[in-house]
Structure 1
C-alpha cells in the first residue's frame, strides 16, 4: 500500500509540476480558474493508485486500505508540489508572490513569509482535496462489480 501510494504520489507531483510549468510557458499562470485542473490531476493520480492497490491485493483489499492508499498518494504529491512551488517562488524573483499579493489571496502582507504561506495553502488545498477524492473514489472501488445498485 505504501509503495503504491509513494509511486503514484511521485507521478501526481510530476503531473502537477508539468502542468504548472506549461501554464507558465503559455502565460496563463495568472488565471486562477485553471487551478481547477490541479484537482483533476490529483483525482487521476489517486484513482489510479487505488485501482493499482486493488489489483495487487485482490481479495485482501479493504475500504480503509483504499482510502489509505489514496491519502498517501495525495500527501506525497502535495508535499512535493508545494516544495517545488516554494523553491520556484524563491528563485523566480517574487513573480508568483506579486501575482498572489495583487489578487489578495493572503491579505495585504505576504512579503515576510511567502514560503510558509504558499506551502501551507497548497498543503491544505491538496490534502483536503486528496481526502475527498479518495473517499469518492472508494465509493466506486468498494463494490466488486463496479455497478450501482438496482442497475441493469
Structure 2
C-alpha cells in the first residue's frame, strides 16, 4: 500500500463523510444534485495521490505508477464511504432508506447493500477516469533526464 494512495484516499473519504454530515445537518440529503460536489473530493484525492507518488519517486516516476496511485486512492476513499452508507441506511437512519425507496426511480428494488454497491461502482468508475485524465496532464508536464 502506497503512502500517497493512503493520503489521497483519506482526503477523499474525509471529504465525502464531512459533506454527508453537513448535508444531513442542514436537511439536504434529499437534494440529489448536491452529490456532484463529491467530484471535488474525488479529484482532490486522486490528484494528491498522483502528485505525492511523483514527488516520492522523482525520476523513477512512470505513467503506470501514477495511474496506479490514483486508482488505489479511489478504492481506498470510496470503499469505506460505501460501508458507512450501508451502516447508515441499515441501522442509523433506516427512515432515509424508506424515503429513497419511495422517491427514486426503481427505488423499491434498492436495499442498503445495493445503495453501497452503486456508490462503489459509481465512485470507482469516476475515480478511474479521473486518474487517467489527471495522468494525461502530469505526463505532459513531467520532464525526464534523457529529454
Structure 1 runs of 4+ aligned residues shifted over 3 Å read none
Q: What is residue 57 of structure 1 aligned with on the other side?
A: 57
Gaps of 5+ in 2: none
Normalized per residue, the structure richer in helix is 2
1:142 aligns with 2:139: yes
Cα deviation for residue 59 of structure 1 reads 0.6
Q: How does 1:1-152 map to 2 (within 5 A)?
A: 2-110=2-110, 114-144=111-141
Using structure 2 for the length normalisation, give the TM-score. Answer: 0.89
Alpha-carbon distance between aligned partners in 2 of 1:106 and 1:13, rounded to the nearest angstrom:
27
Q: Secondary structure at the match of 1:23?
A: helix
User: What is aligned with 1:150?
Assistant: none
Which whole-Å CA distance do the structure 1 matches of 2:45 and 2:103 have between them? 29
In 2, the alpha carbon distance for the partners of 1:21 and 1:6 equals 22
Scaled by the length of structure 1, the TM-score of the pair is 0.86
Aligned residues: 143
Which consecutive unaligned segments of at least 5 residues does structure 1 have? 147-152
Aligned CA distance change for structure 1 residues 106 and 4 (closer, same or farther; 3 Å): farther
